[in-house]
């Protein structure tokens, strides 16, 4: 018999990342462990009809810390969420921070940490670091803020470092970062970029002049809340008026 994670966390902290990936039976067992502060150790193959190994309830008094995106709320057990609100705290973390000297210094330190962690890519010069900070400012989407989605910024840092490494560069420059922004894109952004290239030969919307019944609309492609920025296309929206079949009938406006 081998103890599980909740038993090993007795008198400690149990951390669960992406809490919504737990299936409902597992969340119910977690709820029971939180309430009773003890839970039996069980074991059985999911597709087996054999006997189950089951022990007496084992103490598991722990502090639960879980994390997830906003879409994780739909996959959580209502009773478990109710216990968290009743006996604990729900905290919505910031995805942006103020654009000041202190936080910019932290981003500079983050760039150095990512380079050291990778171990292969060269370090960044002053202009390259400034371009990373500019990209963090752009991805924040709000004036006077910097993005805190460091995982995506880390991917950009490694992409720029790979470009410098391929060209045997001793240091990463601003040009490497600008080139990396073109290739370090999400799958949705790549799909939209390719669609834009294919539509260049066809003038589907107008940017000058005026036309009755036509307006340019923005179509967002796969608005994933886990992404710091969305991709989309400009599509024309046309309003047409269809005359009725006879004078006695009205008109349909579609």
Q: What is the pLDDT of residues 69-81, one digit of tens each?
A: 887 788 888 888 8
45 and 79 in a single domain? The answer is yes
Final residue of a structural domain among 146, 165, 184: 184
Tens-digit pLDDT profile for residues 211-220: 777 888 877 7
CATH number at residue 140: 1.10.8.60
The answer to whether residue 40 sits within a structural domain is yes
Final residue of a structural domain among 87, 105, 123: 87
> Count of CB atoms within 10 A of residue 81's CB?
15
52 and 104 in a single domain? The answer is no
Q: How many CA atoms lie within 13 A of 209 on its CB side?
A: 5
Nearest partner of 242 among 228, 253, 229, 226, judged by Cα:
253
103 and 177 in a single domain? The answer is yes
pLDDT of residue 45: 63
How far is it, in rounded angstroms, from Cα 82 to Cα 76? 10
The answer to whether residue 147 sits within a structural domain is yes
Number of domains in the chain: 3
Tens-digit pLDDT profile for residues 152-173: 899 999 999 999 999 888 999 9
175 and 194 in a single domain? The answer is no
Give the pairing type, strands 13-17 and 38-43: unpaired
Nearest partner of 162 among 120, 199, 126, judged by Cα:
120
The answer to whether residue 251 sits within a structural domain is no
- Give the burial class of 99: count Cβ atoms within 10 A of its Cβ; 0-12 exposed, 13-18 middle, 19 or more buried: middle
pLDDT above 70 (res 34): yes
Tens-digit pLDDT profile for residues 235-245: 778 777 666 66
How far is it, in rounded angstroms, from Cα 155 to Cα 140? 16
pLDDT of residue 108: 95
Least confident of 84-88, 119-123, 206-210: 206-210
| pTM, to two decimals | 0.68
50 and 83 in a single domain? The answer is yes
121 and 179 in a single domain? The answer is yes
112 and 192 in a single domain? The answer is no
The answer to whether residue 254 sits within a structural domain is no
pLDDT above 90 (res 137): yes
Residue 209 CA, chain-centre distance (Å), reads: 39
- Give the burial class of 83: count Cβ atoms within 10 A of its Cβ; 0-12 exposed, 13-18 middle, 19 or more buried: middle
The answer to whether residue 32 sits within a structural domain is yes
The answer to whether residue 243 sits within a structural domain is no
199 and 155 in a single domain? The answer is no
pLDDT of residue 44: 65
The answer to whether residue 30 sits within a structural domain is yes
Final residue of a structural domain among 65, 87, 109: 87
201 and 176 in a single domain? The answer is no
How far is it, in rounded angstroms, from Cα 176 to Cα 138? 18
CATH number at residue 54: 3.40.50.300
Under 8 Å CB-to-CB from 165, ≥6 apart: which residues? 120, 121, 122
67 and 54 in a single domain? The answer is yes
pLDDT of residue 13: 93
The domain of 43 spans 5-87
48 and 108 in a single domain? The answer is no
176 and 230 in a single domain? The answer is no
The answer to whether residue 250 sits within a structural domain is no
């Amino acid at each position: 018999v081998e103890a599980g994670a909740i038993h090993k966390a007795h008198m400690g902290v149990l951390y669960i990342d992406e809490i919504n990936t737990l299936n409902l039976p597992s969340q119910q067992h977690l709820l029971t462990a939180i309430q009773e502060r003890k839970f039996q150790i069980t074991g059985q193959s999911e597709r087996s009809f054999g006997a189950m190994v089951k022990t007496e309830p084992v103490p598991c008094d722990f502090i639960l810390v879980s994390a997830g995106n906003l879409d994780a709320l739909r996959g959580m057990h209502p009773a478990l969420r109710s216990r968290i609100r009743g006996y604990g705290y729900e905290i919505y973390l910031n995805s942006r921070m103020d654009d000041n000297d202190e936080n910019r210094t932290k981003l500079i330190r983050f760039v150095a940490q990512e380079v050291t962690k990778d171990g292969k890519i060269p370090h960044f010069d002053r202009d390259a670091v400034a371009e990373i900070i500019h990209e963090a400012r752009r991805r924040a989407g709000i004036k006077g803020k910097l993005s805190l989605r460091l995982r995506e910024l880390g991917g950009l840092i490694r992409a720029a470092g790979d470009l410098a490494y391929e060209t045997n560069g001793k240091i990463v420059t601003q040009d490497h970062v600008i080139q990396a922004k073109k290739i370090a894109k999400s799958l949705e952004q790549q799909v939209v970029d390719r669609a834009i290239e294919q539509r260049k030969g066809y003038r589907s919307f107008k940017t000058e002049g005026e036309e009755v019944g036509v307006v340019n609309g923005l179509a967002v492609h796969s608005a994933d809340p886990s992404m710091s920025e969305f991709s989309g296309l400009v599509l024309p929206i046309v309003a047409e008026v269809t005359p009725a079949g006879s004078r006695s009938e009205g008109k349909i406006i579609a």
